[in-house]
Amino acid sequence: MPDPITRKPTIIDVASLAGVSIKTVSRVINNERHVSVDMRTRVRQAVTELGFEANESARGMRSLAPEKSYVVAHLYGDAGGLYTHDIQLGLMERCRYFGYHLVVEELDYQSPDVERRAKDLVKRLKLDGAVLTAPLTDNEIVLSVLDEAGVPYVRVSPVTEVPHLPSVRIDEKRAAYQMTQHLLTYGHKRIAFIRGLPNHAATIYRFEGYAQALKEAGLEVDLGLVEDGEFRYFATIPCARRLLERDEPPTAIFACNDEMAVAVIKVAHEMGLTLPDDCSIVGFDDIPTSEMLWPSLTTVRQPVPRLGAMAGDLLFTRLSPLGTSEWPTPVPHQVLPHDIVLRGSTAPLRQP
Residues that bind DNA (CB under 7 A): 7-8, 10-12, 20-24, 26-27, 29-30, 33-36, 38-39, 52, 54-55, 58-59, 61-65
- Mask 36-65, x = binds its own copies (CB under 8 A)? -------------------xxxxxxx----
- Which residue lies nearer to DNA by CB, 11 or 293? 11
Judged by CB under 8 A, the residue of 29, 35, 103, 217 near its own copies is 103
336 binds its own copies (CB under 8 A): no
Q: CB of residue 70 vs its own copies: minimum separation in angstroms? A: 6
Give CA separation, 78 vs 84, 85, 184, in Å: 8, 11, 33
Judged by CB under 8 A, the residue of 124, 215, 246, 350 near its own copies is 124
Beta strands in the chain (DSSP E): 71-76, 101-106, 129-132, 153-156, 167-170, 191-195, 226-228, 252-255, 280-282, 299-301, 333-336, 339-341
**Amino acid type, 137:** T
Binding site partner of 127, from its own copies, DNA, none, Cβ cut-off 5-8 A by kind: none
Binding site partner of 294, from DNA, its own copies, none, Cβ cut-off 5-8 A by kind: its own copies
- Which residue lies nearer to DNA by CB, 31 or 329? 31
Handedness of CA 138, 315, 76, 194 (dihedral sign): positive
Q: CB of residue 56 vs DNA: minimum separation in angstroms? A: 8
- Return all residues near 35 (Cβ < 8 A) that are at least 6 apart: 24, 27, 28, 43
Q: Which of residues 170-189 bind its own copies (CB under 8 A)?
A: none
Binding site partner of 233, from DNA, its own copies, none, Cβ cut-off 5-8 A by kind: its own copies
Closest CA to 121 of 81, 54, 156, 69: 69
DSSP 104-169: EEE--TTSTHHHHHHHHHHHHHT-SEEEE-TTGGG-HHHHHHHHHHT--EEEES-SS--TTS-EEE
Closest CA to 260 of 291, 280, 237: 237
The residues pairing with 96 across neighbouring beta strands, listed in sequence order, are none
- Which residue lies nearer to DNA by CB, 67 or 277? 67
Q: CB of residue 3 vs DNA: minimum separation in angstroms? A: 13
125 binds its own copies (CB under 8 A): yes
Judged by CB under 8 A, the residue of 40, 101, 189, 242 near its own copies is 101
Residue 253: phi and psi, rounded to 5, are: -130, 125
DSSP 70-120: -EEEEEESS---HHHHHHHHHHHHHHHHHT-EEEEEE--TTSTHHHHHHHH
Give the interface segment with its own copies, choosing from 20-28, 121-129, 188-196, 334-342 (CB under 8 A). Answer: 121-129
- Which residue lies nearer to its own copies by CB, 44 or 266? 266
Give the interface segment with its own copies, choosing from 31-39, 88-96, 249-257, 324-332 (CB under 8 A). Answer: 88-96
**What is the C-alpha separation between 310 and 306, in angstroms, rounded?**
6
List interacting residues with its own copies (CB under 8 A): 55-61, 69-71, 79-80, 82, 84-85, 88-89, 92, 96, 99, 101-106, 117, 120-121, 124-125, 233, 262-263, 265-266, 269, 288-289, 292-294
